[in-house]
Amino acid sequence: MCGIAGVIGKRNPQPVGEYLEIFGKTMRHRGPDDSGFHSDAFRAFLNLRLAILDIAGGHQPIYSEDKTIGIVYNGEIYNFATLKDDLVQKGYTFKTHSDTEVIVKAYEVYGADAFAMLNGMFAFCIWDDRKNTIYLVRDRFGIKPLYIYEDGERFIFSSELKGIVGIPGIDLSLDSAGFQDYLTFRYIPAPFTFFRNIRRLDAGTYLTIKNGISAQYRYWDADYRDPYPLPDLNDVKEELMRKMLKAVTSQLMGEVPIGVLLSGGIDSSTIAYFIHQAGAKLTTFNIGFPEVNEFEFSRAVARKYGLKHIEVVTTAEELARDFNRITVALDEPIADPACLPLFRLCEDLKRHVTVVLSGEGGDEVFGGYTQYHHMMTSNIPYHVRFQEFMDRSWYFSNALDFMNDPFIPPHTLRFRKYFEEQPQLNGMLAYDMKTWMPENLMMKADKILMAHSLEGRFPFLDKELFDYVAGLPQGYKLHPRGTTKWLLKEAMSPYLPKVIIDRQKMGFTVPVDRLLDLLKSLIVDVFESLPRTGLAEVLNARLLRKHVEMYYQHRRILPLQLWTLFVMCYWHLHALPAYQAARDVISAQE
């Protein structure tokens, strides 16, 4: 688990030493254990390593035998041992025990087709001097991020936005498309960012760079099916249990302490059960507020399986005090209030473990959200289904109001195809797996965990498990009687405490209204200063200030909407300058 970055000059030599220093300083948290680079006059590739697997032999870059192919890589490949056995049978030998070397050898044999063979989370750069081609690759579920900047002179890529915005001389012109996306979704789906020249690589795709020209290709897409006749339910449950055990067991690899985020919901409780089945004695963690928490449920699961359990209690006051640190750590604004307690929990996690397993993906794979139930059980006319789903998913239908120059019709409708290309439940699952999963849940997890030099792993996003469940009947996920995640509950009911199976979905409740009151003076200052900033070029500063007044005087807008607006503006006024200040400190030291 690492950070990667690099620069590729188009025509002229580049100051590669300056790039490498800025990359290393701004992203050291992603790789505190080791670093390595490959460079020449026109290009440089950097790896910052958090050592998890093959600690002694996994130094990067790693090269092919003839040194014509190299890689810098961020991630974990859970099926690397199987791939390695196949390559050994083909006559290849290995100098390390790392999964990184397996990627290089697999690419040598299969070319870009190797990317779809990888079961894991990854973002990597492969340079192939034989073909004069560079590949930038992001995993199928977007667990690992990769940002790419391009202007007339160079490409720059980085695991984090802050690795790019700190580079001198880059064009940080604002992009209305990114703002409109954020105001609609509360996060920014790929490929856009707030900046016209910086893009995030889409999940499941790779970018090639050759002779200064880039092209993007999709190597994987979700394949949903709704088979008929229905497969035998008992057979399905047995196969599901086998794939779950394999997914969890494969993610226990490594040479460092591993823990589990255990909320007491069915997803994290299922992971805890399979950890117990695998014979691993891991420590579990949960966080909550004194007034609202799920401790009784996580305790019940940890006690049943004999797992050491640690509870962390936080308060709105504590989270408000840490707001600036959390916003800077996030790298990009994400208006999910759960970012704050996750950051606080990571401070405790780091004292005990380096890797944590978590239950993200369970709702999106098995159909667990309440909006799925609403959409499937309500008689909603076809022509308004997409907007109803958007509204039920906490997206803001009035996003265009805040834009000086909105796209008409909204360019966010580009995602409608995911919703409409499948039968209704599968369409919602496909939509969330293309948007919410990679660009909210995974970005939140990656940025916050890596800020603490922690690695997150997500068994529900195992490739084999996902492909299997995606091919099952819709009615096995959301039961016709309305039970969400029906198949998972049916399969796990003999093994989990009954209170876990029967409980209503809770989610992590963060007191946003209390946070807005605690941060009121800061919020007012931020919005009063907007007309004097570059944000006024793309945003209606007057309307934004009016919304602040409306909230504090009359509470006429939703707390989550004001939170979304505040997080965006605060990030631009405080976090972005902090990233650029890191560059200035480096320059002053030279």
Pair 207, 266 in one domain: no
CATH of the domain at 311: 3.40.50.620
Confidence of residue 555 (pLDDT cuts 50, 70, 90): confident
Q: Is residue 185 part of a domain?
A: yes
Predicted confidence at residue 50, as pLDDT, reads 74
- The one catalytic residue in 2, 339, 346, 569 is 2
> Which segment of 63-67, 363-367, 376-380 scores lowest on mean pLDDT?
376-380
Specify the 3-state DSSP secondary structure of 413: helix
Q: What is the pLDDT of residues 154-183, one digit of tens each?
A: 999 999 999 999 898 999 999 999 999 999
Q: Among residues 502, 521, 551, which one ends one of the domains?
A: 502
Predicted confidence at residue 484, as pLDDT, reads 94
Predicted confidence at residue 582, as pLDDT, reads 61
Question: Checking DSSP bridges between strand 355-357 and strand 258-261, what pairing results, if any?
Answer: parallel
Predicted confidence at residue 588, as pLDDT, reads 46
Confidence of residue 590 (pLDDT cuts 50, 70, 90): very low
Pair 99, 78 in one domain: yes
- Whether 2 sits among the annotated catalytic residues: the reply is yes
Pair 285, 180 in one domain: no
CATH of the domain at 33: 3.60.20.10
Q: Is residue 42 part of a domain?
A: yes
Provide the mean pLDDT of the chain.
93
Helices 323-330 and 559-570 cross at an angle (nearest 10°) of: 70
Q: Is residue 224 part of a domain?
A: no
Segment (H or E) for 569: helix 559-570
Domain that holds residue 575: 512-584
The share of the chain scoring above pLDDT 90, in percent, equals: 80
Predicted confidence at residue 585, as pLDDT, reads 52
Q: What is the pLDDT of residues 280-324, one digit of tens each?
A: 989 999 999 998 899 999 999 999 999 999 999 999 999 999 999
Nearest-CA neighbor of 520 among 568, 558, 553, 543? 553
| Residues 197, 57 contacting (CB under 8 angstroms) | no
For residue 566, is pLDDT > 80?
A: yes
Q: Is residue 389 part of a domain?
A: no
Q: How far apart are CA 6 and CA 243, in angstroms?
A: 37
| C-alpha distances in Å from residue 430, one per residue of 218, 277, 417, 489 | 16, 31, 10, 21
Name the DSSP letter for residue 478. Answer: S
**Highest-scoring range by mean pLDDT, 446-455, 508-517, 572-581:** 446-455
Predicted confidence at residue 116, as pLDDT, reads 98
Q: What is the pLDDT of residues 103-161, one digit of tens each?
A: 999 999 999 999 999 999 999 999 999 999 999 999 999 999 999 999 999 999 999 99
Q: What is the pLDDT of residues 6-64, one digit of tens each?
A: 999 999 999 999 999 999 889 989 987 878 899 999 999 999 977 676 666 678 899 99
Confidence of residue 481 (pLDDT cuts 50, 70, 90): confident
Question: Residue 142 — left, alpha, or beta (φ > 0 → left; ψ -120 to 50 → alpha)?
Answer: left
The three-state DSSP-derived secondary structure of 99-161 is HHHHHHHHHHHHHHHHHHHCCEEEEEEEEECCCCEEEEEECCCCCCCCEEEECCCEEEEECCC
Predicted confidence at residue 52, as pLDDT, reads 73
Q: Among residues 218, 250, 269, which one ends one of the domains?
A: 218
